[in-house]
Structure 1
Amino acid sequence: MKSSATRSGAGGHARTPCDAAARAHSSGPLDLLRAEFDGVHDVWRSASGMVYVAGPEAARAVLGNRPAIVAETSDFYRTRHGVFGPRAAQAEIGRAARALMHHHLDARRSQLPRLIHERLAPRSSWPDAGNLLVHEHLADVLLHPGAPISLRTTVGKVVTRAVLAGARRRHAPPSRLLLRHRASAALQAEIRARQHRRQHHGGSAGPRDLLDVVVDGCGPATASDDLAEVYLSFLFAAVGSIGFALGWSVHLLGTHPGCPAAPDRIVREALRLWPVAWLFARTPLRAVELGGMTVTPEDQLAVCTYLVHRHPAYWERPDEFLPQRWAAPVSRAAYLPFGHGPHTCAGATVTLQLLKDIVGLLIHDWRLSVIHDGGGPQVGPALAPPRFTAVLSPRANSSGRR
């Protein structure tokens, strides 16, 4: 890629392939990025040619996009035709989805102890166990019980064959492509049926599931294939992202026995160390100075929240799991687990609520230990935990909660 970066300045620092090779200890993408980031230069051109952003100030400038310095984009409302819009429809869908999810979680909270007992005890294989538990807990809000059984079955197959960590490696590309085609066709048929009912029989009293939220948030003329892709984004965010975040919380809790911390502090610290949404790609609209470096529309920017969350200038002992750090006021400038700006994850509060509920039950009802499989984080579009086995044994005070 053609470079137009300024080599001088506090944040303008170019790394050569030799620099990276000399400092990296493995070929993993996280290790390579950590090797390139020196903790001083917050914006730099990687050996790959990508311009990475690890400083909180620069990261917020890019993600917040005020003033407009990057092409407006969304990390959620993307379809094959571009970014789904208009922005007003995005906002309405996000608002309705949060309200529906909060109502569902409040109504089903009492079922969580039984679900944990049945699905996680005495042993469970992670991170898949977290994704599958979240999917079961949210099944009726993803698709209401009256939805076609065939569609619910298809959505379940999408979870096992496309959402779970490593699913792409376990299933051949032709099989995945066929599933995507069938899932899209089934969703579009149901979307068109719901659009027809709303057009000819009026709207419902309120959304019954997230597919209703997507359909109700747009006009009847909105293309069903776009709406199907937005719904699948909800599915991946709910079951994938929340499930992986739960996996990191369980992994850290199990590897730090006796950790004296409240559930919310454990969850926040897990999201700091291992943000599931760890990389946000953007394209500059014009030449602009960012962290002492000049970037142009020819460059590709990547905001790396994994590095923002471990920036040594903002975090004490940044690589350590220290949930007690959240007992005192913490600067949120360097904490972006759900992104930042107009496209911050719409389900952030829902995610935190569900994670705190589950982690709180694990702490109260169970003794937890973790057995590693020897691997590391599973790095892809989402940052998933390594494979591990969680072993649960009930505490004496837990018998009445199941």
Structure 2
Amino acid sequence: MKEEVWSGFEQDPLGFLDRELSGAGDIVRTGRNEYCVGNPAEARTVLSNANGSYAEHSDFFHTRYGYFEPRSAQLDMRREARGLLREYLKSRPPGELREFLRRELGASSRWPDTGNRLTYRYLFPLLLSPDRPQGLRALLDQIVERSVLAGARARQPRWRRMWLQFNTTWRLSQAIGERQTQPRTPPADLLDVVANAAEPDRRQDELSEVYLSFLFAVAGSVGFVLAWSLYLWGTHARRDAPAEWIVHEALRLWPVAWQLGRRPVQAHDLSGVRMETSDEVVVCPYLVQRNAAHWQAPAEFRPERWADEDAWRNPAFIPFGHGPHRCVAADLATQLVADMLQVIRELGEVGVTAHDHRPTVAAAMAPPPFTLTIATTG
């Protein structure tokens, strides 16, 4: 394939993948040394890495210094973070979510930014406990507005992005360092989770990046899933499907984490193509989950397909990854989004007006901009 053909991927990645996608969706070459995998079995093989063909990698635990280790520290963080989220959601009083959404949304709101802000504000006590300095909260507010919202980074001048990065690293490192000097106690928030799981001599700037992964997951990924669910529900005729079906169909059609890159450490064959150590293999949930061999009418929004119990076990459904690095809180986050979607639908006459049909494609895939209106009834 000529290099000028590969350049089409950079200009319009989703359009390129749609054009190049074969009926089985096995593998698509997207660069001189880059391949996107769309075959479900091969995708799971790459992500599980049972035969050690790839360098150990976690998209969540990737920092500027490489792969965060040891694995035991990762497992501690995953377990404690899931426990905190589960207990936080379990402890919410009845009606709190409805009151929160009614108060925050108002009659009209602009999305997908509103989705990011909603999940961030609702889960904020999970990120920072109430006794943390107010300055840290203000810092997280800035990060969300300038780095998490769809297209936010592109709207910031380079000097401002650099200053925010410096200020974030310094202040979070300081907060983590202070926590590590205190007696170890059960974590009160995700900052505690990060500080407790690592050895005291671990680079605190690296730990600050791990903490930011939690922030981006809470405000970015979960917020975009909520926005996609609302967008698809509001722009299609099937408006009476259960919220859980809509969320899963949104995750299938438009996975927020749409690229999961891995680096081979030994030459091997993948979907009939020879992979060398100089190549990059990208598992592409966008391709996998539109695989015509596993989904009927894969490009169509059909939430009713989730009425079939087999759909929940379809191997061509990996929106949260697969294997040892699959998102540990995927079920809790998905249920929260479904609960939020259901409450929003019950707030009144809900309308969705799309302002574009093209998603924002970056590290995370955000839905097109749209306006949500809610007309309350008697």
Alignment of 1:63-102 (within 5 A): 63-102=47-86
- Secondary structure at the aligned position of 2:375 is classed as strand
Tell me the SS of whatever aligns to 1:46: strand
Kindly provide the CA deviation profile for residues 33-53 of structure 1, in whole angstroms up to 9, marking residues without a partner as x.
111112235024335542111
What SS class does the counterpart of residue 108 from structure 1 fall into? coil
Q: Structure 1: which amino acid aligns with 2:370?
A: F
Q: 1:85-124 maps to which residues of 2 (within 5 A)?
A: 85-108=69-92, 110-124=95-109
Secondary structure class of the residue paired with 2:179: helix
- Counterpart residue number, 2:332: 350
Q: Within the alignment, does 1:239 sit opposite 2:199 as a pair?
A: no
Map 1:167-206 → 2, pairs under 5 A: 167-198=152-183, 203-204=184-185, 206=186
- Deviation digits for residues 288-343 of structure 1 (CA, Å, limit 9, x no counterpart): 11111111101111111101111111100111111110111214200000000111
How far the C-alpha of 1:395 sits from its partner, in A, is 4.8
Query: Is residue 207 of structure 1 aligned with residue 191 of structure 2?
Result: no
Equivalence for 2:203: 223
Supply the distance in 2 between the matched residues of 1:260 and 1:127 (Cα, whole angstroms). Answer: 22
Structure 1 CA distance for aligned equivalents of residues 228 and 47 of structure 2: 24
Partners of 1:122 and 1:392 within 8 A in 2 = yes
Alpha-carbon distance in 2 for matches of 1:106, 1:252: 28
Q: Is the 8 A contact 1:284 1:300 kept in 2?
A: yes
Letter in 1 for 2:233: L
Partner of 1:253: 233
The structure-2 alpha-carbon separation of the partners of 1:351 and 1:52, relative to structure 1 and needing over 3 Å to count, comes to: same
Partner in structure 1 of residue 118 of structure 2: 133
Larger radius of gyration: 1
Residues 255 and 48 (structure 1 numbering): CA distance in 2 closer, same or farther, change over 3 Å?
farther
State whether residues 131 and 164 of structure 1, in contact with CA within 8 Å, keep that contact through their aligned partners in structure 2. Answer: yes
Q: Which residue does the alignment assign to 2:284?
A: 304
Aligned with 2:298: secondary structure?
A: coil
Aligned pair partner of 2:255 in 259, 275, 279: 275
Contact 1:101–1:141 (8 Å) recurs in 2: yes
Corresponding residue for 2:17?
33
Aligned-pair identity in percent equals 40
Note the residue ranges of structure 2 that are not aligned, 5 or more in a row. Answer: none
Q: Secondary structure at the match of 2:92?
A: helix
Letter in 1 for 2:376: P
1:18 CA displacement: 7.3
The reply to whether residue 262 of structure 1 matches residue 246 of structure 2 is no
Match of 2:145 among 160, 168, 178: 160
Label 1:120 to 1:151 Cα distance change in 2 as closer, same or farther (>3 A): same
2:50 alignment partner, SS class = coil
Aligned amino acid, residue 301 of structure 2: F
Does residue 59 (structure 1) correspond to residue 43 (structure 2)? The answer is yes
Summarize the Cα distance change of 1:195–1:325 in structure 2 as closer, same or farther, 3 Å threshold.
same
2:60 alignment partner AA: F
Distance 1:220 1:20, change over 3 A: closer
CA distance in 2 between partners of 1:133 and 1:361 (Å): 13
Task: Return the letter of the residue paired with 2:267.
Answer: A
Q: What CA distance in whole angstroms lies between the structure 1 residues aligned with 2:247 and 2:370?
A: 18
Counterparts in 2 of 1:48 and 1:259: CA distance versus 1, 3 Å: farther
| Contact in 1 for aligned 2:150/2:360 (Cα 8 Å) | yes
Structure 1 position 382, deviation (Å) = 0.4
Offset of 1:126 from its aligned partner?
0.4
Distance 1:185 1:344 in 2: 30
Q: Secondary structure at 2:123's aligned position in 1?
A: helix
How many residues align? The count is 375
Matched, 1:372 2:354: yes
* Deviation string, structure 1 residues 163-211 (Cα, Å, up to 9, x no partner): 111111211111011011111111111111111112xxxx22x211100
Q: Tell me the SS of whatever aligns to 2:91.
A: helix
In the TM superposition, what is the alpha-carbon distance from 1:80 to its structure 2 partner? 1.5
TM-score (norm 1): 0.89
Decide whether the 8 Å contact of 2:262 with 2:282 is kept in 1.
Answer: yes
1:285 partnered with 2:265: yes
Cα deviation for residue 248 of structure 1 reads 0.1
Structure 1 residue 231 displacement after superposition: 0.3
Assess, with a 3 A threshold, how the Cα gap between structure 1 residues 25 and 286 changes in structure 2: closer, same or farther: closer
Structure 1 window deviating more from structure 2 (342-351 vs 107-116): it is 107-116
What amino acid is aligned across from residue 70 of structure 2 in structure 1? P
Any idea what SS the aligned residue of 1:135 has?
helix
Q: Which amino acid is the alignment partner of residue 322 of structure 2?
A: H
Deviation, 1:25, is 12
Distance 1:395 1:356, change over 3 A: farther
Alignment of 1:7-22 (within 5 A): 15-16=1-2
Q: Residue 57 of structure 2 aligns to a residue in which SS? A: coil
Normalising by the residue count of structure 2, what TM-score does the alignment of the two structures yield? 0.94
- Which residue number in structure 2 is paired with residue 399 of structure 1? none
Structure 1 vs Structure 2 CA RMSD: 1.9
